[in-house]
Structure 1
């Protein structure tokens, strides 16, 4: 549901515009895209972090798996990811759409993306939204570091697995997830941390597709 939602609110609109040879989106549609995209992005990254913890427990603490990853723990972690998504999207919407847009109405992306919208604002309070982006970028990087630490423990444990088949099974379980996380974080960080003065239209389009379309498809 997360991966379908991730794509559903960006790609279909772009496809319709291409088929109808138009490039327009309503103001309310843009708000909806920003809200839902941030929401599903935050929830997806939350679940990717939970999945890393799950793999750490199943490989490094396998005898404690039933007690650590019981039904209650799974429900609590899943609920925390969904609640965090609502909080993130509401905070971004509250900051970005109180700004005054007077820098044109062309968004150089196939969906309404916050860094592109900030280029169109002439309000002095845009620094508030930049601060929110910086905060969540730091939070995402912190989660990424936790994931890397988990995988450091996982790979250390895997080296001690005596059978080659067991090592291969552990690697095949973890590697796809780690690839998705790396792609998600690297491209997303590039998009949201890159200074607005650096304008790379073609690169921005490719990077936007890499973090908004490819990870859900890979999942």
Structure 2
């Protein structure tokens, strides 16, 4: 039995006071390289998303619903990546991989909350594009400031009560055997592998929550884009079609990256889970997607690029 477990006199299970995050300890010679790599990635994510927020706030032409949601999304990405990467960097730097039971539960809770919020905000962004392209005359009336604020608030708040109860239920399970988590953060699949007894009900709840938080928003986004693409193809002008596609393509790429890896991780059968695959997929939606989001939205968006050039010109003229 690992030294970080205490035996409970009431039951034959071990009551963990801490877990050990194995992370990337299987490649000891690459610890310094991985620390430098993930530190650089983290700083790029923070600076890239901060830059998008600054551009949106500074340029009056970007004070529209689409960029309001993009600003929310960029701030969310900084929160989302800050749940996992600082802890990973600490483990790589100090080689102290112990995480307390409460810290592990807290990390999982915020990871789930921000993940759910990202699903909802991407859905709200798809709805905004749907109204803009399919009902352009009614767009200013429908997507008013009040509705935008309500949608954003709903995205941030709606998952809070569900995931409080869900996280509490997971960490109320009895744990036994090893306390080593073969992952770089406290995600659901690796934590459940250490749980004792019957986890059938919690696994069914995972599928239900994934259906509500991931699958249904994803289907709504797909339905929106079926309508959007149909409307775009009916536009008489090739220039108009190209402009409409350009405003939607960035969002579609981000949706494909985030939802694709998330659905594979949480909705595939338990029998097909492996630590290596789970780590790779987790890196994809916790690190790679937030890293590319600022690049996707900046490089593929002419309005953002024009606003960025204006800011640089102002800075050079001072």
CA RMSD of aligned residues (A): 1.5
Match of 1:132 in 2: 205
Number of residue-to-residue matches in the alignment = 218
Q: What's the CA shift for 1:189?
A: 1.6
> Greater Rg, structure 1 or structure 2?
2
Q: Could you report, residue by residue, the CA deviation over 1:34-56 in whole angstroms, capped at 9, with x for unpaired residues?
A: 01000101111110000000000
Match of 2:235 in 1: 161
Matched, 1:78 2:152: yes
Match of 1:49 in 2: 123
Q: What's the CA shift for 1:155?
A: 0.7
- Name the SS for the 1:111 alignment partner: coil
Q: What's the CA shift for 1:143?
A: 1.4
Distance 1:210 1:88, change over 3 A: farther
Distance 1:99 1:172, change over 3 A: same
State TM-score, norm by structure 2: 0.65
Instruction: List alignment gaps of at least 5 residues for structure 2.
Output: 1-74, 294-318
Q: What's the CA shift for 1:91?
A: 2.6
Matches within 5 A, 1:103-118: 103-118=177-192
State TM-score, norm by structure 1: 0.93
Q: What's the CA shift for 1:128?
A: 2.8
Structure-2 separation of matches of 1:190 and 1:105 = 26
> Which aligned segments of 4 or more residues in structure 1 are displaced greater than 6 angstroms?
none
Match of 2:52 in 1: none
Match of 2:223 in 1: 149
Matched, 1:32 2:101: no
Match of 2:136 in 1: 62
- Name the SS for the 1:25 alignment partner: strand
Instruction: List alignment gaps of at least 5 residues for structure 1.
Output: none
Matched, 1:218 2:306: no
Distance 1:60 1:199, change over 3 A: closer
- 2:95 corresponds to which of 12, 21, 28: 21
Q: More strand by proportion, 1 or 2?
A: 2
